[in-house]
Structures are given as structure tokens and as C-alpha cells.
């Protein structure tokens, strides 16, 4: 795991945007896995700026989102499809036909989930997967005790996730308690993973992901087993790390010796 600790949330987000830009610019027909939520908003803003400055084009890029609420129409303001259009896709030159979100509009969940996996495979697999992390250690909507082998499927959301995400919904709006999410096994097949964690409220989850035991109770801890995982965090999100100084030193050595 590469652990990058930067002083502020803005610097961590700029790092993430640069990481994604480099991936897109260095790959033909790049396939990028995307996340939603508060942690990635500044990363998307920075990507939009880079696009406006002519530093990155998304014309050849295909994206696969991690997850989506069940029961929200795509045009519902809180659907992850709407979030992605509003936060990123409407502002860049991506072909909307190349943007995938794991939606299901009937009760045929199994077929929606397996066709999502098939579509990822048809595109040659995910080259870079962007992740946030829930306060309970979830990645995508893979809640604690999700199998490390799991594939795209329907998950029941925990009370803590529902509470955490309630801020996005009006009091009168129905907040779904089910979601369709890429599985942990699906996520782990991505060639590269970039997880971003911002703020003091993520410090415990970040420490569990990086330094905790490998445990289904902290789904993100499986990233310790990924050969190309990078975690970018701001100082506050890093504040519970036992080896904080070591990670800072490692990055210094990396830039000094390019290793």
C-alpha cells in the first residue's frame, strides 16, 4: 500500500485528480471506476478544472460507478446517476453512453448485477478504481461483514450508513435502505485502486483500513491485499495512524530516489 498524507483536504483532492489524469493520459481506452459521496467532490472539481485547462480529455474513457440506491429513478436528485451527472459528467467531454451506474429498474436484481459484471469484463476490466471509505470502513456499499469474495449484488444498508447519508436527503424524501453495489471481489479485480479519505471523522476508518487486521468487519482492510493500492488522506484523516511518521518518511524517500 502506498500511503500519501497531505496537509489539507484540497491538496489530497488535487493529488487524486492528478493521479486519475495521469492514468487517463497514459492509457488507451481507459476504464475508470468512480465513487460518490462527499469525499470525492473536490477531486471531481479538480478534474473538471484540468479538463477546462486542456490537461485531460475523457473522450476515450469508460466509467463504472461503484453503487446506486435501489428504488430511486435516475433523475431523482439523490440518485448516484444524478450526482455523477451534476458533479462530473455534465462538465467534461465524456460520451454519456460510456458511463455506467449499476441500476436496476425491475425486480430482476440477479440479472442486473450479472450484466453489470459482464459489461465491466467486456470493457477489459477496471484499470483504476476510485474509492471513498465509510466511517464504518465500507467501500462502495459493502457494509461490515460483506464477503471479501462478493460480486455486484443488492445490500441492505446499516443504520450508521443511513444516518451518515441522511444529510443528502430532504426530510420529505424517501431515503432507500437498499443499494446495488459492486462486490469486494469485483473492486479487488481493478488493476489500480485509489482511496481518498478526508477529515477527522474518517481517521478511525482510515486507521482500520491501513493498519487494522484484515477483517470483513472493516471491508476496506482488504485493500492491504491489493498489489497497487494508494491511499491519499489529509492530516486529520491520518491522525489515528500509528506509523504516521513512517508514511511521511516513505513518501519523502520516494520523491528523492524515485522509488
| Binding of residue 67 to ligand GLP (CB under 6 A) | yes
Distance CA 247, CA 182 (A): 30
| Binding of residue 38 to ligand GLP (CB under 6 A) | yes
| Binding of residue 36 to ligand GLP (CB under 6 A) | yes
CB 198 within 8 A of CB 13: yes
| Binding of residue 220 to ligand GLP (CB under 6 A) | no
Of 102, 96, 146, nearest to 120 by C-alpha is 102
Please pick, among 9, 68, 117, 138, the residue that the annotation labels catalytic. 138
3-state DSSP assignment of residue 242: coil
CB 196 within 8 A of CB 210: no
Q: What are phi and psi of 74, to 5 degrees?
A: -55, -30
Among 141, 143, 152, 193, binds ligand GLP (CB under 6 A): 141
Respond yes or no: is residue 67 known to be catalytic. Answer: yes
* Closer by beta carbon to ligand GLP, 150 or else 161: 161
CB 159 within 8 A of CB 235: no
Respond yes or no: is residue 143 known to be catalytic. Answer: yes
Please pick, among 9, 14, 67, 226, the residue that the annotation labels catalytic. 67
* Closer by beta carbon to ligand GLP, 179 or else 241: 179
Please pick, among 68, 143, 208, 234, the residue that the annotation labels catalytic. 143
Output the smallest distance, CB 39 to ligand GLP, in A.
3
Among 134, 183, 219, 220, binds ligand GLP (CB under 6 A): 134
Of 216, 232, 231, nearest to 184 by C-alpha is 216
| Binding of residue 23 to ligand GLP (CB under 6 A) | no
- Shortest-Cβ-distance residue relative to ligand GLP: 132
Q: What are phi and psi of 56, to 5 degrees?
A: -155, 140
Distance CA 11, CA 72 (A): 34
Number of residues that bind ligand GLP (CB under 6 A): 14
Going edge to edge, which strands form the sheet with 62-65? Answer: 2-6, 229-234, 192-197, 128-131, 31-34, 62-65, 99-100
Q: Which residues of 224-244 are buried (b: 16+ CB within 10 A; e: fewer)?
A: eebeebbbbbbbbbbbbbeee
Output the smallest distance, CB 171 to ligand GLP, in A.
19
Respond yes or no: is residue 136 known to be catalytic. Answer: yes
Among 31, 32, 34, 35, binds ligand GLP (CB under 6 A): 35
Q: What are phi and psi of 5, to 5 degrees?
A: -110, 125
Please pick, among 14, 65, 136, 142, the residue that the annotation labels catalytic. 136
| Binding of residue 66 to ligand GLP (CB under 6 A) | yes
Respond yes or no: is residue 138 known to be catalytic. Answer: yes
* Closer by beta carbon to ligand GLP, 94 or else 196: 196
Q: What residues are annotated to the active site? A: 67, 136, 138, 143
Residues contributing to the site for ligand GLP (CB under 6 A): 35-39, 66-67, 132-134, 140-141, 161, 165
Amino acid at each position: 500500500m502506498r500511503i500519501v498524507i497531505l496537509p489539507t483536504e484540497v491538496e489530497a483532492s488535487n493529488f487524486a485528480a492528478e493521479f486519475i489524469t495521469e492514468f487517463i493520459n497514459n492509457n488507451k481506452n481507459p476504464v475508470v471506476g468512480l465513487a460518490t459521496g462527499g469525499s470525492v467532490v473536490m477531486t471531481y472539481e479538480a478534474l473538471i478544472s484540468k479538463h477546462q485547462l486542456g490537461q485531460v480529455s475523457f473522450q476515450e474513457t469508460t466509467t463504472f460507478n461503484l453503487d446506486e440506491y435501489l428504488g430511486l429513478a435516475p433523475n431523482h436528485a439523490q440518485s448516484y446517476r444524478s450526482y455523477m451527472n451534476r458533479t462530473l459528467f455534465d462538465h467534461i467531454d465524456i460520451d454519456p453512453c460510456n458511463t455506467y451506474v449499476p441500476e436496476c429498474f425491475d425486480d430482476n436484481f440477479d440479472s442486473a448485477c450479472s450484466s453489470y459484471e459482464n459489461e465491466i469484463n467486456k470493457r477489459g476490466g477496471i484499470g483504476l478504481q476510485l474509492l471513498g471509505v465509510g466511517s464504518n470502513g465500507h467501500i462502495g456499499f459493502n457494509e461490515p461483514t460483506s464477503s471479501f469474495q462478493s460480486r455486484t449484488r443488492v445490500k441492505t444498508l446499516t443504520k450508521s450508513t443511513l444516518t451518515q447519508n441522511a444529510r443528502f436527503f430532504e426530510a420529505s424524501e424517501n431515503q432507500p435502505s437498499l443499494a446495488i453495489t459492486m462486490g469486494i471481489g469485483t473492486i479487488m479485480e481493478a488493476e489500480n485502486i485509489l482511496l481518498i479519505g478526508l477529515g477527522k471523522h474518517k481517521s478511525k476508518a482510515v486507521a482500520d483500513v491501513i493498519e487494522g487486521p484484515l477483517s470483513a468487519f472493516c471491508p476496506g482492510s482488504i485493500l492491504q491485499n491489493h498489489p497497487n493500492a494508494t491511499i491519499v488522506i489529509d492530516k486529520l484523516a491520518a491522525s489515528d495512524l500509528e506509523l504516521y511518521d513512517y508514511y511521511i518518511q516513505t513518501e519523502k524517500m520516494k520523491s528523492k530516489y524515485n522509488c
